[in-house]
Amino acid sequence: MAMLRMQRVNVYALLKYCKDILEDLQRRGVVEIENVDIEDSVFYKDDTSAFQAQYNGIANTAKQAREILAKYAPQKKGLLDSFKGRKQLTRTEYNKLADDAPDILRAAYDILSYQKNIEQNEAEKIKYQQQLEMIRPWLALDVPMTFSGTATTKAFIGKFAPPKSSEQITTQLAEYLTGDEAFDIETVYSDNNQSCVFVLTSKKDSEAVGDALRRIGFEYPPYVSTVTPQMREKEINRHISNRDGRILENEKNIKALEKYYDKLAFLEDYYTMKSDRYKVFDDIATSNNTFVMTGYIPEPDAKKLKDYLETTYDAEVELEDAGDNAPVKLKNNRFTEPVEGVLASYSYPDHHEADPTSIMAIFYYLFFGMMFSDAGYGIVMALACGICLLKFKGMEPGLKRSMKMFFWCGVSTTFWGLMFGSFFGDAIPVISNTFFHTEPPAIPGLVVPLWLNPVSDPMKVLMVSFLLGIIHLFVGLGIMAYNQIRNKNYAAVIYDVVSWYLLVGGAILALLSTEMMGDIAGFTLPGIYLKIGGIMAAVGAVIIVLFSGRESSNPFIRLLKGVYGLYGATGYLSDILSYSRLLALGMATGIIAQVFNLVGTILGDSPFGVIVFILVFLIGHTVNIGINALGAYVHTNRLQFVEFFGKFYTGGGRGFNPFKINTKHYTVKEDK
Amino acid sequence: MSAFFQNSGLFFALLGAAFATLMAGIGSAIGVGKAGVAASGVLAEEPSLFGKVLIFQLLPATQGIYGLLVGILILSNVGLIGGAKEITVLQGLLYFAASLPIAFCGLYSAIYQSKCAVAGIGTVAKKPDQFGKAILMPAMVETYAILALLISMLAIIGIAGM
């Protein structure tokens, strides 16, 4: 339960070392750089946006080239690759690849230009294919489509859409002609949409015939070939196969660059890092020969960095107390640290309150386990997370944290499963009854519950759920007391914490000694507790009424606020009842598991029945794990965020976001 | 006629099981459907969010499962799964009454939860890092389905012990 102390670090150094220092800081990733707000006759801000844009552009080129490469030379991808995380490079490997950068970049540009060439040829191919489509109806025509006639004749080459037969054309033409004109109609092609015709007429009648043709819907074709259509078809096919050849050649060229696949990933990272470094120039101030930089650093890293910068670069490093605006970095042990992510998704604590991660972690695992509560599921979950953690050491920190969290949740789930006697529901009794026709062996935990079966005595589990809820809420109030004491606000502890302990605690004592609650809970406290509880609750209520409106100076308003404060007691009631989900979701997991086991045995004891059982078992329990793990996760978060944090947590801190290597594919490991 | 009524205990129990399953199931089907439409829309732009929006889509699915759960509990208690038992008219009616909380609360909470889930999908589409907070809003609605499930289950277990 701790937050790391932050220190402000100011670095003053010679400008010639600036790039090296930034590269070192980036690799160490321990400093969050803040904007230095000085601009005067000596210091100024370097505008590096042009460099940033250029490097981002190169990174983007590398990314595109890599995507293109992956398209033509598919890379194998494992199912679990996403767990592997970024590949680690040693310093020497990094330097070697960095020296290769110009060569890789050339390859990237080559790939892009090959791709462009392919796209161009594809576009031309499509154009030729369209021409081919258009010329196809005219293949039977044995003159060029531009043929206009001989010395004494005139030809009309065109189409009718919708189609007309030559008889139809003749009769329709007759309406517009005198009857003296000589013409000949030849249908070249006809289908449901159009008919292509070749009309020949004598020169002197050409005007009248042409006019009549237009009136009955004659159109010139959109595409006209200057040679005979058959020759044109051959030409086009030659063009297309040419383009195909060029496309193939370019694809081959791209495939030949396959060895650059990983190197392109490096290039993208390399230039992203470079661009990130130039971005820092927005925040530092430079003079002609020196530069100034300021930022935050966690205390444990501060001394080492100071020594390093001072000895290596002859820099002047100043460390001072960071104050309240510093970002927050949490430090927790291996058991509680995984829950930091959950806390961060709500809000980081600010500097006036304690980090609740460690206490939250205990309840988090406890509640998750109780809602999921099946030993089989817990073992599956813990094993899956454990194996992934062992196998993929280089996993990304965020993913690693979640895996660790679900590992512990799995352990807790196993514990509660054993307590409730649930192992894949009632898998062992069902299997032994159906397939072995014997009573199951009474294995403690897996068959016989270590504590009790929630279905046979739900009220007891419900009471335990409420009890855990009350403890959770009271611990939350306790953290509030701790925060107030830390801020030397002792009176508030009495007014805001002790008063509620008395009121809620007293009310519970009193309720438990009444007969009505006794019937529900299954036990009654001796009558004396009714009195004790009543007095406690009354004292608490009085404190709340008198003091919860204490910031108002007007006594009347203060009293009204106090009464309203007492109304908050209903909030406690609903908060405590909210923990009934521990029972409900726990029972839901167990009973659904039993339903799948029951469905599995539907065909009874036969070879086919065994197969059906195995199938139903695998699919059913996978579905149940998925849906109930989701439910347990969401509702554990809710109990923490709403019920628990609602009692004490304000948050509002800013997470520590150091200047570091922010890449996609590679990280660099320090040699020393 | 009176003999018919005396033997209709099983009918009412079955009605209860059917009611719990079908009402909560309808709610979940509507809810998952709505959330699914929104999730697919986001996937068109951001395929990498698949895992996150899928969880949102599944949130309103639980009510249907709660309904199924109550249905199965009733069926196994009245002997329709497993051995046959004598069910009086009163018991049958009690089972029917016990199915009501999850039937209605399941139906409505799934529909309203899906509205929250759709909004949450919108949040995650714009700010994927706000997943933790966005998923909590639909979970709030679910509380009431859980409370209804709890009462339905406690009632059925109680009736069986009578």
Any idea what the CATH number is for the domain that residue A157 is in? Answer: 3.30.70.2750
Q: In angstroms, rounded to a whole number, what is the distance separating the alpha carbons of residues A139 and A144? A: 10
Mutate to test the interface with B, among A339, A340, A345, A627 (most CBs of B within 10 A): A345
pLDDT at A325: 84
pLDDT at B111: 96
Give chain A's radius of gyration (CA, Å): 40
Q: Which of A298, A327, A356 represents a domain boundary (last residue)?
A: A327
Interface of B with A (CB under 8 A): 55, 58-59, 61-62, 65-66, 68-69, 72-73, 76, 81, 131-133, 135-136, 139-140, 142-143, 146-147, 149-150, 153-154, 157
Give chain B's radius of gyration (CA, Å): 19
Q: Give the pLDDT band of residue A92 (cuts 50, 70, 90).
A: confident
For residue B16, the enclosing domain spans 2-160
Q: In angstroms, rounded to a whole number, what is the distance separating the alpha carbons of residues A655 and A671? A: 29
Q: In angstroms, rounded to a whole number, what is the distance separating the alpha carbons of residues B111 and A267? A: 49
Query: What are B30's two structure tokens?
Result: 């509507």
pLDDT at B105: 96
Work out the average pLDDT over A67-94.
83
User: Which residues on adjacent β-strands are paired with residue A56?
Assistant: none
Q: Give the pLDDT band of residue A650 (cuts 50, 70, 90).
A: confident
Q: With an 8 Å Cβ cutoff, are A345 and B72 in contact?
A: no
Residue A671 has pLDDT above 60, yes or no: no
pLDDT digits (tens, 9 = 90+) for A294-340: 999 999 999 999 999 999 998 999 999 888 888 999 999 999 999 99
**Whether A114 contacts A254, CB under 8 Å:** yes
CA contacts within 13 A on the Cβ side of A151: 0
Work out the average pLDDT over A141-148.
86
Q: Kindly state whether residues A185 and A202 are assigned to the same domain.
A: yes
Residue entry with tokens 């409370």: B147
pLDDT digits (tens, 9 = 90+) for A467-499: 999 999 999 999 999 999 998 999 999 999 999
Chain B residues in contact with A360 by the CB 8 A cut-off are: none
pLDDT at B1: 59
Which amino acid is it at A250? N
Q: Give the pLDDT band of residue A44 (cuts 50, 70, 90).
A: confident
Interface contacts A/B by beta carbons within 8 Å: 73
* Strand A666-669 versus strand A285-286 pairing type: unpaired
- Does A193 map to a domain? yes
pLDDT at A515: 79
Helix (H) or strand (E) holding A135: helix A91-135
Q: With an 8 Å Cβ cutoff, are B140 and A634 in contact?
A: no
Q: Kindly state whether residues A52 and A127 are assigned to the same domain.
A: yes
Closest Cα in chain A, distance from residue B105 (Å): 15
SS3 at position A637: helix
Any idea what the CATH number is for the domain that residue B121 is in? Answer: 1.20.120.610
Q: Of A502, A386, A520, whose CA–CA distance to A457 is shortest?
A: A520
Work out the average pLDDT over A247-265.
91
Higher pLDDT, A359 or A396: A359
Compute the C-alpha angle A67/A70/A72, nearest 5°. 115
Q: Give the pLDDT band of residue A670 (cuts 50, 70, 90).
A: low
pLDDT at B18: 95
Long-range contacts (CB closer than 8 Å, 24 or more residues apart) made by A171-178: A172/A216, A173/A209, A173/A212, A173/A213, A173/A216, A175/A212, A176/A208, A176/A211, A176/A212, A176/A215, A176/A216, A177/A208, A177/A209, A177/A212, A178/A208
Closest Cα in chain B, distance from residue A211 (Å): 54
pLDDT digits (tens, 9 = 90+) for A524-534: 888 888 899 99
Q: Kindly state whether residues A124 and A200 are assigned to the same domain.
A: no
pLDDT at B82: 63
**Whether A291 contacts A621, CB under 8 Å:** no
pLDDT at A216: 87
For residue A201, the enclosing domain spans 146-220
Residue entry with tokens 């509620």: A500
Work out the average pLDDT over A553-564.
89
pLDDT digits (tens, 9 = 90+) for A601-624: 888 888 999 999 999 999 999 999
Hey, CA dihedral for A99, A103, A107, A108, is it positive or negative?
positive
- The DSSP symbol for A498 reads I
Q: In angstroms, rounded to a whole number, what is the distance separating the alpha carbons of residues A600 and B141? A: 33
Chain A residues in contact with B76 by the CB 8 A cut-off are: 598
pLDDT at A238: 94
Mutate to test the interface with A, among B154, B156, B159 (most CBs of A within 10 A): B154
Q: In angstroms, rounded to a whole number, what is the distance separating the alpha carbons of residues A466 and A472? A: 10
Residue A388 has pLDDT above 80, yes or no: yes
Best-predicted range by mean pLDDT among A90-94, A109-113, B76-80? A109-113
Q: How many domains is chain A partitioned into structurally?
A: 3
Work out the average pLDDT over A417-421.
94
pLDDT at A653: 87
**Whether A254 contacts A115, CB under 8 Å:** yes
pLDDT at A573: 87
Closest Cα in chain B, distance from residue A528 (Å): 31
Q: Kindly state whether residues A125 and A250 are assigned to the same domain.
A: yes
Query: What are A85's two structure tokens?
Result: 């995380």
Q: Give the pLDDT band of residue A193 (cuts 50, 70, 90).
A: confident
Among partner residues B59, B68, B146, which is closest to A585 by beta-carbon distance? B146
ipTM over 0.85: no
Q: How many domains is chain B partitioned into structurally?
A: 1
- Does A390 map to a domain? no
Chain B residues in contact with A598 by the CB 8 A cut-off are: 72, 76, 81
pLDDT at B50: 86
Residue A82 has pLDDT above 90, yes or no: no
pLDDT at B95: 94
- Does A242 map to a domain? yes
For residue A223, CA distances in Å to A52, A133, A159 come to: 50, 10, 12
pLDDT at B83: 63
pLDDT at A150: 85
pTM: 0.83
pLDDT at A536: 94
CA dihedral angle for residue A255, residue A261, residue A263, residue A264, rounded to 10 degrees:
90
Q: With an 8 Å Cβ cutoff, are A592 and B68 in contact?
A: yes
Work out the average pLDDT over A79-104.
85
**Whether A638 contacts A367, CB under 8 Å:** no
Q: What percent of chain A has pLDDT over 70?
A: 99
Mean of the per-residue pLDDT values of chain A: 89
Q: Cβ of A207: how many Cβ atoms within 10 Å?
A: 12
SS3 at position A244: helix
pLDDT digits (tens, 9 = 90+) for B24-43: 999 999 999 999 999 999 99
Residues of chain B with pLDDT under 50: none
Best-predicted range by mean pLDDT among A41-50, A221-230, A382-391? A382-391
pLDDT digits (tens, 9 = 90+) for A273-291: 999 999 988 889 888 889 9
Q: Give the pLDDT band of residue A517 (cuts 50, 70, 90).
A: confident
Q: With an 8 Å Cβ cutoff, are B65 and A588 in contact?
A: yes
Q: Kindly state whether residues A88 and A237 are assigned to the same domain.
A: yes
Work out the average pLDDT over A370-376.
95
Residue A39 has pLDDT above 80, yes or no: no
pLDDT at A170: 86
Residue A384 has pLDDT above 90, yes or no: yes
pLDDT digits (tens, 9 = 90+) for A452-466: 888 888 888 989 999
Work out the average pLDDT over A526-552.
90
Work out the average pLDDT over A135-145.
87
Q: With an 8 Å Cβ cutoff, are B139 and A637 in contact?
A: yes
Work out the average pLDDT over A571-576.
89
DSSP letters spanning A462-480? HHHHHHHHHHHHHHHHHHH
Residue A432 has pLDDT above 60, yes or no: yes
Hey, CA dihedral for B53, B55, B59, B65, is it positive or negative?
positive
